[in-house]
Structure 1
Amino acid sequence: QLQRTVAASSVEAEYQATAAAVREALWLRKLAGDFDLCSDTIGIWMDSQGALSLGNNPITSVRSKHIDVQHHLVRERVARGEVALSYCSTEDMVADILTKALGEIKFKKFRNGMGVMA
């Protein structure tokens, strides 16, 4: 999915993508709640330590001042305990199978990690 705003850095781009994922996850949690299904804290796994730091740190620094307020929804939801951001190394990021060209070994590892069998 294309981002609606231009990011000044890769960290900012990852943070914008995290904000979009949080918005989507909150909507899905609300939908699940409408059906009396589980609505616990949402776990978001990410491989960008910079974006993770931005989301978990409630203090805006000079370096992150320019980031649009709409993306700080992440910080707000983390502070409320609705979302938990966690680090996942690139080597273990199963979602990469959906976004990157992978070698055969990594492809099979991630495919199996998703529970998809050939």
Structure 2
Amino acid sequence: MFIRSLLADMGIFISAPVQLHCDNVSASYLVVNPIQHDRSKHIKIDYHFVRERVAHGDLQVKYIPTQFQLADIFTKNLSSQRFEFLRSNLRVVSPAQIEGV
């Protein structure tokens, strides 16, 4: 939602819903179908914000399997092989690769 507001301030308007990638199937289902039960009654306020934005059509929660969760590169300790896989999928290259060395 912040990105949409930032882009709007620059005169770039996005009409499509913002995609939120989630690697938790249960959380994805709970956002779309908010069934109340004992395990979900103590959910934080941010969940309710997400559910509200999904209901308004501003946000779309999309399931992404853990192995393709690109945000892990910023939040987790990774093996060098996993780090390189995620880095290449983010299209981040080293200066040496840009220069063709």
The alignment status of 1:81 with 2:57, answered yes or no, reads yes
Structure with the greater alpha carbon radius of gyration: 2
Q: Name the structure 2 match of 1:117.
A: 93
Residue 93 of structure 1 and its aligned partner are, at CA, apart by: 0.8
Query: Mind listing any 5+ residue stretches in structure 2 that lack a counterpart?
Result: 95-101
Out of 16, 23, 29, which is 2:4 matched to?
29
Is the Cα–Cα contact under 8 Å of residues 97 and 111 in structure 1 kept in the other structure?
yes
Is the Cα–Cα contact under 8 Å of residues 31 and 47 in structure 2 kept in the other structure?
no
RMSD (Å), alpha carbons:
1.7
Q: Name the structure 2 match of 1:38.
A: 13
SS in 2 for 1:45: strand
AA at the equivalent of 2:36: T
Identity %: 35
Out of 66, 69, 84, which is 1:108 matched to?
84
TM-score, with structure 1 as normaliser: 0.69
Residue 27 of structure 1 and its aligned partner are, at CA, apart by: 2.5
Query: Mind listing any 5+ residue stretches in structure 1 that lack a counterpart?
Result: 1-25
Q: Name the structure 2 match of 1:15.
A: none
Q: 1:94 to 1:70 in 2, by over 3 A?
A: closer
Residue 28 of structure 1 and its aligned partner are, at CA, apart by: 2.4
Count of equivalent residues: 93
Residue 69 of structure 1 and its aligned partner are, at CA, apart by: 4.4
